[in-house]
Amino acid sequence: MTFDFKMDQPQPRLLDSTRQGLIGTDMARPEGLLKVTGAAAYAADHLPEGCVHGMLVRATVTRGRVTAIDEGSIGDIPGLLGVFHGPKFIRNPAQGMAGESPIRPDTEVHFHGQPIALVVAETFEAAREGALRLAVTYESAPAEVDPETASEVESDEPDTRGDWDDAWGKAAARVDLTFRTAGHVSAAMEPHAAVAEWQGENLLLRGALQMVATNRLELADALGVEPERVRVVSPFVGGGFGSKLGIGPEAVAASVAARDLGRPVRVVMARQTVFDAVLRRTETRQRLRLAADADGKLLALAHDDRISNLPGEGFAEPVSSASRFTYDALAMHFAQEVARNHRTPSGSVRAPGEAVGMITLEVAMDMLAQLLDIDPLDLRLKNVATSHPMTGQAFGEQRLADCLTEGARRFGWADRPAPGTRSEGDWLIGAGMAAAARPNALQESSARVRLTPWGAVVETDMTDIGTGTYAILTQIAGEMLGLPAERVEVRLADSDFPRSPGSGGSFGASSSGSAVFMAAKGIREKLARTLGCDPDDLALQDGIARGGNVERSLADLIDGELGETATVGPGKTAETHASAGFGAHFAEVAVHRWTGEIRVRRMLGLFDIGRVLNERTARGQALGGMIWGMGGALHEALEHDPRTGHIANRDLANYHVAAHADVPGDITADFLPVRDDHANPMQSKGVGELGISGSGAAILNAVHDACGARLLSIPATPDKVI
């Protein structure tokens, strides 16, 4: 039986009365041992019988057409099996949101490094040699690669509220700044990989993917086969951060070659190919305007930006997303320009929008506080939005003010010395703060739960990209059904399982978890009927069911198995209520007086994410986000060759992500004890992308506090400080 749950139905806080004691704890990942011992098989770990190897060939021109591929140029390589190219292979990576399919089967080259062919051989080494040596001839076309000078710029109607001129005109203080952010890459530890195996007319694709249901449709579409013929499995994924939302060229190429050769084909991207051929986060240029009265009440807030993408690509980094609802102002203005150019296509990279937008808003707030001589904490507290300023929706739960106040107390914000007065030897010390905000969404999601006398099995096509899905779904099912964790088996990421939205947009845990919750709730109701008690009076703990005066073991109650499939969806609540995660960041930095080097000494983040499902994995997500925010503020930058647009720093030696030596030992992330009744049946909100939102601003504001340098572009490398 399937029943639909919509958020407009009344919500019992069932998880507050269950007794298993699993939910919210810091339970370790059940699959953790498999991962750390190397027993967990990631996509590329599969080598089916007869499997051969493919290597992608990348375009060496920015724009144009492939006119000839000379297969004879590599004919001498032993074990060479084929070169696959032509319309089927010249494709852009897909963004991966159902409905929009930028997989374009054409013969054109759109960016330098675009995959244009696949060389397949008996060994990896032979395929690699072939891919490096293959002679390709191009007809080049002129290309624009600089977003600042792009001749094709698209702009939408601005999104506005109130009378801008009036609000701006009567202000006592105004900030009008331009902020620039460099492009980013997801830099997942596991490179993109696919193993394609045809069984007759049916394809089994083992991939490194975030959304297997969508990926299956994309792959079927790219191959021109019915989706029913395609099965995608992705049980272990070594990080995604947006880069594995959509099907990539490795999966399409492996599938086509495997069909043609009648043998399984494995394609693993080299790290340099991941940089070239997988979506980047766009660089941005942002104009942020704030105007306030003498008391610090915001009168006007504008956040306009310019981003870039390939012509025709649908994705546009939602830079000002959180600026629309974090603070309230009488007049607001949001406009975006998309410069069309021929850099690697841009797409979702962790916290699309907030990662680069929130840092700008929060630096501007710091500047406004300075102008008005108001404590940055107080300025924010005066302006926290109480309903969504642009839509008028009520917030389900909005605890930004509590995060700011309590975070400040824990950090010791009130006790900090005056700006520019602290030093230790050649190091100038300063403190900064910022707010965090990111929209939260419940996406339609289904799960099947089966209860047997021995335990429960959970099945959904949801992925675990290192985020902790196996753990939290184990906890939810165990909590609801009164089972210890070791008696719950969670099976994920098989497109044959009930459909989930997958991992993305910080919606995965709450959406797939809600489906598991509702399926388990259905099983509880069946058990209550069998036991003859009201479902509200049913207590399940450690395999024992109690209700009224009756007490029986699950083994006794269940004949065979009790199964339930549930689907949850957002319903009307998503229209009437705005849902978002909130938080506050505090940072202490040291800036070297002579070299301009910035060392982060302390970071503290406090977040409102509704109910915490697993303290350990939630904290891991929040810390990871905070650290990425730091890396973005200080280190990360895609460098494009000004002649070709080609990404010049295509490896993790030249593209520096924060390493252990960059991260302060004193870094904490914590959560307010909150329930959001309007978010979903578990009262939880997303956490994955909230931590990055604003964290870099706390650091830049601390740099200003330390040495007076107001940095308006990231990464804030030492040359910008001195």
- In the block, residue with structure tokens 């004879």: 72
Site stretch for ligand MOS (CB under 6 A), options 250-258, 343-351, 359-367, 486-494: 343-351
Q: Which of 250, 459, 564, 689 is catalytic?
A: 689
Residue from 345, 505, 522, 625 binding ligand MOS (CB under 6 A): 505
Distance from C-alpha of 480 to C-alpha of 518, rounded to nearest angstrom: 9
689 classed as catalytic:
yes
> Residue 301 or residue 355: which is nearer to ligand MOS going by CB?
355
Give the number of other CB atoms < 10 A from CB of residue 373: 8
- Which x/- pattern over 445-484 shows residues binding ligand MOS (rule: CB under 6 A)? ----------------------------------------
Give the number of other CB atoms < 10 A from CB of residue 6: 14
Residue from 113, 130, 240, 264 binding ligand MOS (CB under 6 A): 240
Helices (H), 172-286: 212-223, 249-261, 271-277
Cα 486 vs. chain centroid, distance in angstroms? 29
Tokens at residue 614, please? 């697993």
Crossing angle of helices 249-261/212-223, nearest 10°?
A: 50
Cα 545 vs. chain centroid, distance in angstroms? 39
In the complex, minimum distance from the CB of residue 528 to ligand MOS, in angstroms, rounded to a whole number: 38
In the complex, minimum distance from the CB of residue 314 to ligand MOS, in angstroms, rounded to a whole number: 15
Let me know: does 205 contact 222? Beta carbons within 8 Å.
no
Cα-based distances in Å from 197 to 51, 98, 202, 438 = 8, 24, 8, 40
Tokens at residue 93, please? 């990576």
In the complex, minimum distance from the CB of residue 400 to ligand MOS, in angstroms, rounded to a whole number: 22
- In the block, residue with structure tokens 């509200």: 536
> Residue 113 or residue 318: which is nearer to ligand MOS going by CB?
318
Largest CA distance in the chain: 83
In the complex, minimum distance from the CB of residue 245 to ligand MOS, in angstroms, rounded to a whole number: 6
Let me know: does 692 contact 629? Beta carbons within 8 Å.
yes
DSSP assignment of 135-155, as one string? EEEEEE------GGG-S-EEE
In the complex, minimum distance from the CB of residue 505 to ligand MOS, in angstroms, rounded to a whole number: 4
> Residue 184 or residue 399: which is nearer to ligand MOS going by CB?
184
Tokens at residue 703, please? 């740099």
Please state whether beta strands 331-340 and 159-161 pair in parallel, antiparallel, or not at all (unpaired): antiparallel
Q: What are phi and psi of 292, to 5 degrees?
A: -140, 160
SS3 category, 716: coil
SS3 category, 313: coil
Query: Does the footprint of ligand MOS cover residue 242 (CB under 6 A)?
Result: yes
> Residue 147 or residue 242: which is nearer to ligand MOS going by CB?
242
Site stretch for ligand MOS (CB under 6 A), options 67-75, 76-84, 239-247, 438-446: 239-247
- Which x/- pattern over 208-237 shows residues binding ligand MOS (rule: CB under 6 A)? --x---------------------------
Give residue number: closest CB to ligand MOS. Answer: 242
Let me know: does 715 contact 635? Beta carbons within 8 Å.
yes
> Residue 89 or residue 241: which is nearer to ligand MOS going by CB?
241
715: cis peptide before it, omega within 30°? yes
Distance from C-alpha of 492 to C-alpha of 473, rounded to nearest angstrom: 10
In the complex, minimum distance from the CB of residue 416 to ligand MOS, in angstroms, rounded to a whole number: 34
Distance from C-alpha of 634 to C-alpha of 563, rounded to nearest angstrom: 51
Q: Which residues within the stretch 345-364 sit at the binding site for ligand MOS (CB under 6 A)?
A: 348-350, 352
The DSSP letter of residue 322 is G
Residues in the interface with ligand MOS (CB under 6 A) total 11
Q: What are phi and psi of 256, to 5 degrees?
A: -65, -45
Q: Which amino acid is at 418?
A: A
Helices (H), 560-652: 573-576, 615-634
In the complex, minimum distance from the CB of residue 693 to ligand MOS, in angstroms, rounded to a whole number: 12
In the complex, minimum distance from the CB of residue 355 to ligand MOS, in angstroms, rounded to a whole number: 9
H-run or E-run covering 180: strand 173-181
> Residue 296 or residue 504: which is nearer to ligand MOS going by CB?
504
Query: Does the footprint of ligand MOS cover residue 500 (CB under 6 A)?
Result: no
Query: Does the footprint of ligand MOS cover residue 245 (CB under 6 A)?
Result: yes
> Residue 240 or residue 249: which is nearer to ligand MOS going by CB?
240
Query: Does the footprint of ligand MOS cover residue 631 (CB under 6 A)?
Result: no
Distance from C-alpha of 221 to C-alpha of 196, rounded to nearest angstrom: 16
Distance from C-alpha of 62 to C-alpha of 218, rounded to nearest angstrom: 26
Tokens at residue 666, please? 């004193």
> Residue 504 or residue 563: which is nearer to ligand MOS going by CB?
504
SS3 category, 643: coil
> Residue 350 or residue 602: which is nearer to ligand MOS going by CB?
350
Nearest alpha-carbon partner for 501 in 1, 93, 89, 97: 97
Query: Does the footprint of ligand MOS cover residue 318 (CB under 6 A)?
Result: no
DSSP assignment of 87-105, as one string? TTT--PPP---TT------
In the complex, minimum distance from the CB of residue 442 to ligand MOS, in angstroms, rounded to a whole number: 15
Query: Does the footprint of ligand MOS cover residue 183 (CB under 6 A)?
Result: no
> Residue 352 or residue 407: which is nearer to ligand MOS going by CB?
352
Site stretch for ligand MOS (CB under 6 A), options 240-248, 425-433, 529-537, 582-590: 240-248
Nearest alpha-carbon partner for 681 in 19, 17, 8: 8
Tell the burial category of 643 from Cβ atoms under 10 Å away from its Cβ (0-12, 13-18, 19+): exposed
In the complex, minimum distance from the CB of residue 508 to ligand MOS, in angstroms, rounded to a whole number: 9
Query: Does the footprint of ligand MOS cover residue 241 (CB under 6 A)?
Result: yes
Cα-based distances in Å from 297 to 58, 164, 327, 380 = 53, 15, 10, 9
> Residue 191 or residue 264: which is nearer to ligand MOS going by CB?
191
Site stretch for ligand MOS (CB under 6 A), options 101-109, 241-249, 396-404, 656-664: 241-249
Tokens at residue 693, please? 């939102």
Q: Give residues with Cβ within 8 angstroms of 91, minimum separation 6.
A: 103, 104, 105, 115, 222, 249, 252
SS3 category, 44: helix
Query: Does the footprint of ligand MOS cover residue 504 (CB under 6 A)?
Result: yes
Distance from C-alpha of 120 to C-alpha of 114, rounded to nearest angstrom: 18
Distance from C-alpha of 113 to C-alpha of 576, rounded to nearest angstrom: 45
> Residue 250 or residue 670: which is nearer to ligand MOS going by CB?
250
In the complex, minimum distance from the CB of residue 469 to ligand MOS, in angstroms, rounded to a whole number: 13
Site stretch for ligand MOS (CB under 6 A), options 80-88, 342-350, 405-413, 512-520: 342-350
In the complex, minimum distance from the CB of residue 350 to ligand MOS, in angstroms, rounded to a whole number: 5
In the complex, minimum distance from the CB of residue 319 to ligand MOS, in angstroms, rounded to a whole number: 14
Site stretch for ligand MOS (CB under 6 A), options 110-118, 128-136, 238-246, 628-636: 238-246
> Residue 349 or residue 509: which is nearer to ligand MOS going by CB?
349
| Catalytic residue positions, numbered | 689
List contacts with ligand MOS (CB under 6 A). 210, 240-242, 245, 348-350, 352, 504-505
